[in-house]
Amino acid sequence: MDDKKKDIKMRVNEGLDQGTVLFNVPFPKDLQKLDEMAPIIIKQPYQIDYIHSYGQDSPFFAGLANKVFLGTKCTKCGKVFPTPRKSCAVCGSPCEWLEMPKEARLHSFTVCHFGSESFLKETPYILALIEFDGADTLFLGRLVGVDPLKPSLDWIGMKLKMKFRRLSQFSPTDVYFLPAD
């Protein structure tokens, strides 16, 4: 057996590749006192590498990471979708990628006073349906730069500009919208 295999076998046999290693574990000299021994508590961080595929949406997220907002357009009927899809929702034909305009309008919104764990610290926040010129559907995104505690119907139709997170998280929230003025 070569030295490398011996080293691996020794490490496995000695438990060196098992994670947590304990030192100085308390143990009473008098075995009659074992029931009085305090419980051993180990705090052990847990990590997992989660492999996730963005599949057909990979270009959309790659675009966001590069500050490019991509939608799709049907190759047959010409419908434009700011929320990209591989096939047309109207006729079922394939769609092709296109860059969406950097400006849009506010179609509607809601103020969220509760959110998932990642948004709790930001509540209240505004989710908005964003309307792009030439697009046939709306995009759901975050609206910032207005006071969520003073919502107004006057915001409907407001011109918006898109912004991107400085450091992408490969999330739809990598893009957000602000009033254009």
Please tell me the predicted confidence (pLDDT) of residue 7: 56
In the predicted model, what is the mean pLDDT of residues 1-22? 57
Q: Which has the higher per-residue pLDDT, 27 or 98?
A: 98
Work out the percent of the chain whose per-residue pLDDT is above 90.
60
d(CA 162, CA 104): 8
Residue 72 one-letter amino acid = T
Report the predicted TM-score, pTM, of the whole model to 2 decimal places: 0.71
User: How many other β-carbons are positioned within 10 Å of the β-carbon of residue 126?
Assistant: 21
Please tell me the predicted confidence (pLDDT) of residue 112: 95
Contacts 24+ apart (CB under 8 A), 145-152: 145/178, 145/179, 146/179, 148/111, 148/124, 149/124, 151/109, 151/111, 151/126
Q: Structural domain boundaries of the chain?
A: 56-179
User: For 86-113, what is each residue's pLDDT tens digit?
Assistant: 999 999 999 999 999 999 999 999 999 9
Please tell me the predicted confidence (pLDDT) of residue 119: 79
pLDDT band at 60 (very low <50, low <70, confident <90, very high): very high
In the predicted model, what is the mean pLDDT of residues 138-165? 97
Q: What's the mean pLDDT when you consider all of the chain?
A: 88
Work out the percent of the chain whose per-residue pLDDT is above 70.
87
d(CA 138, CA 81): 8
- Would the pLDDT of 11 be above 60? no
